[in-house]
């Protein structure tokens, strides 16, 4: 009974805090695959304007593996993939005896695959409304904010922006204090053309123009003086070519083990320790990559303490591409998923608004710290299980 009254008291306290601070707003924008140094390689006046008015990080370090779904969910939860469970874009989940794939709508919307508490749920639980236009996890049952959209890449970017503006224009009882907005560029073009392609840099300029329209439209909102805008991305992009393709099936027999992935990482699992040992020994002879049993994966990746992570992980050196050609392979010109310490994998972080300092530049930080930062701006009590730490990014905030 005492625990019941404690929970009620905490709920009332959190609701009161949220009600007192409901004039704070956050728009968090993700531009997928926006490599940090793109800003130095072409003309981006609107990004420069936002950074000069607010704060900018040298770069944002993604979580490993540096893929879209794990990183968007880490941005949303403040947790490493080994804790939130979304360990790759596609993977086998032995705890559910099912396979997750970002291309399988039934799995994307299945809340069982997602652990932790995304920032929009933290907001909703504490009395604030939240909205998402395509953020990873926001479509899953049990994790949906008040307003959410089922992913449709064909929806024009301007239409997405117009929807967000309309949400921020709703009357206070219905207006979200937190909105997350996703764009699939420049990632889409970066895969097709590589990070050094002129079409990719043209797309970066297009995204800069889009940011300009967002800044113009949000400046006319009634809440403009209370709105904090964060522009970030999930990972960078690296050049790859067919001369660096490694056919793992030339070194090991995968006929009776589970083989997951291609490109920067490959995961292998089996119930047979003997077969795992045979495969591991064979793969140690493969050049331009490192092979780890799960327990030996480097601690700095925070990528070993979950059963969904393969028994064996193979990680390619930068620019190299792993595949078992018997399983098929598609080789793009640009790719991500490599070691998250590589600068080419790093993302952007730029923010402006009443919560942030003016014209402040800081060094690299990890994307798990974005969740506690947003929670602080909205005066929310963060989920207790996060890996992120507000103190790691407190310097971004006004005194």
Residues involved in catalysis: 68
Residue position matching structure tokens 């508490």: 117
Residues shown for the chain? 399
Following DSSP, what letter does each residue of 146-165 receive, concatenated? Answer: SEE----TTS-HHHHHHHHH
Cα 48 from Cα 89, distance rounded (Å): 32
Whether the Cβ atoms of residue 193 and residue 334 lie closer than 8 Å to each other: yes
CA distances from 334 to 38, 232, 272 (A): 14, 20, 36
CB 52 within 8 A of CB 359: yes
Rounded-to-integer distance, Cα 162 and Cα 116, Å: 30
Strand extents, DSSP E, 134-264 = 147-148, 178-183, 227-232, 238-239, 245-247, 258-260
3-state secondary structure of 303: coil
Q: Does the CA dihedral 317-320-321-323 come out positive or negative?
A: negative
Judge contact between 91 and 99, C-beta under 8 A: yes
Which token pair is 80?
């490493």
DSSP-derived pairing of the beta strands 178-183 and 130-133: parallel
User: What burial class does residue 8 get, using C-beta atoms within 10 Å of its C-beta: 0-12 exposed, 13-18 middle, 19+ buried?
Assistant: exposed
């Amino acid at each position: 009974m005492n625990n019941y009254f404690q929970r009620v008291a905490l709920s009332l306290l959190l609701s009161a805090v949220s009600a007192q601070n409901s004039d704070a707003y956050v728009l968090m924008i993700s531009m997928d695959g926006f490599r940090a140094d793109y800003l130095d390689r072409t003309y981006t006046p609107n990004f420069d304007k936002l950074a000069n008015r607010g704060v900018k990080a040298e770069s944002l370090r993604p979580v490993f593996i540096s893929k879209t779904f794990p990183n968007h969910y880490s941005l949303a939860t403040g947790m490493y993939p080994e804790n939130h469970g979304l360990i790759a874009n596609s993977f086998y989940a032995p705890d559910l005896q099912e396979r997750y794939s970002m291309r399988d709508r039934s799995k994307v919307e299945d809340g069982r695959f997602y652990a932790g508490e995304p920032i929009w749920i933290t907001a909703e639980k504490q009395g604030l409304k939240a909205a998402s236009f395509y953020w990873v996890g926001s479509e899953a049952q049990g994790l949906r904010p008040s307003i959410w959209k089922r992913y449709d890449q064909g929806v024009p970017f301007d239409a997405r922006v117009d929807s967000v503006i309309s949400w921020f224009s709703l009357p206070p009882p219905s207006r979200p204090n937190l909105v997350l907005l996703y764009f699939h560029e420049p990632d889409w073009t970066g895969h097709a053309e590589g990070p050094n392609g002129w079409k990719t840099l043209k797309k970066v300029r297009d995204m800069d123009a889009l940011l300009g329209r967002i800044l113009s439209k949000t400046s006319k909102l009634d809440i403009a003086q209370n709105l904090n805008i964060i522009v970030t991305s999930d990972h960078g992009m690296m050049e790859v070519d067919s001369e660096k393709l490694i056919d793992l099936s030339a070194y090991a027999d995968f006929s009776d083990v589970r083989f997951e992935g291609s490109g920067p990482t490959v995961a292998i699992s089996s119930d047979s320790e003997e077969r795992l040992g045979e495969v591991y020994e064979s793969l140690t002879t493969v050049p331009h990559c490192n092979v780890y049993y799960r327990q030996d994966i480097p601690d700095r990746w925070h990528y070993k303490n979950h059963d969904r992570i393969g028994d064996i992980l193979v990680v390619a050196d930068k620019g190299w591409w792993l595949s078992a050609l018997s399983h098929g392979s598609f080789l793009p010109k640009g790719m991500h998923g490599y070691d998250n310490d590589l600068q080419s994998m790093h993302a952007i972080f730029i923010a402006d608004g009443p919560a942030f300092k003016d014209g402040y530049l800081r060094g690299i930080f990890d994307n798990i710290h974005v969740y506690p930062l947003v929670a602080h701006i909205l005066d929310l009590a963060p989920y207790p299980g996060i890996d992120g730490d507000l103190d790691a990014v407190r310097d971004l905030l006004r005194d």
